[in-house]
């Protein structure tokens, strides 16, 4: 699939749409999912044009996983959770809805996973959760 730079995550990367950021470096951005499947649901995206896993250059795959390790540690400390489900969907036929590669880190049990893209979160709550996770990362 050809990358379309009008997708919502490309707009977030360009700063055209806001997000509740938890971490950023030269190759990745991590922010709160707007329709979380559990409290503290974070998305990690690479700063390159990749629709899904098959398009993702190895250096960015590595950067995404490095950021994921930071986020998972921070989610555990900030939210007092242990179990975190890592999900990444490839293709509309698998349920992908935003066509810029992204990894989900969802603090829950796989059997408790809420419905995908169902309930919009409260913005103040998202801001508070982002702040909690960010504070742990900043203190490390
Ligand atoms: P996918 O099905 O593509 O793996 O999931 C896309 C995810 O992006 C969903 O979990 C959805 O809630 C999230 N999402 C969609 N639009 C926005 C947005 O504008 N901002 C944020 N932060 N998340 C979004």
25 three-state secondary structure: coil
Atom of ligand 1 nearest to the CA of 20: 22
* Ligand 1 within 6 A of CB of 10: no
Q: CB-based contacts of 4: which residues, under 8 Å, 6+ apart?
A: 10, 99
Verify whether residue 102 is a known catalytic residue.
Answer: yes
For the chain, the structural domain boundaries read 8-134
pLDDT 10s digits, 59-83: 999 999 999 999 999 999 999 999 9
pLDDT 10s digits, 19-67: 999 999 999 999 999 999 999 999 999 999 999 999 999 999 999 999 9
Q: What's 8-134's CATH class? A: alpha beta
Tokens 């990749």 map to which residue?
A: 50
* Ligand 1 within 6 A of CB of 99: no
* Ligand 1 within 6 A of CB of 127: no
């Amino acid at each position: 699939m050809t990358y379309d730079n009008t997708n919502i995550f490309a707009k977030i990367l360009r700063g055209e749409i806001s997000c509740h950021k938890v971490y950023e470096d030269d190759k990745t951005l991590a922010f709160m999912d707007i329709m979380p499947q559990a409290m503290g649901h974070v998305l990690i995206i690479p700063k390159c044009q990749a629709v899904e896993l098959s398009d993702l250059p190895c250096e960015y795959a590595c950067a995404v996983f490095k950021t994921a390790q930071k986020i998972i540690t921070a989610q555990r400390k900030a939210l007092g959770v242990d179990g975190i489900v890592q999900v990444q969907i490839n293709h509309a036929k698998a349920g992908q809805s935003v066509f810029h590669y992204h990894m989900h880190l969802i603090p829950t049990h796989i059997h408790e996973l809420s419905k995908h893209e169902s309930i919009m979160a409260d913005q103040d709550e998202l801001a508070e959760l982002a702040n909690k996770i960010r504070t742990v990362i900043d203190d490390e």
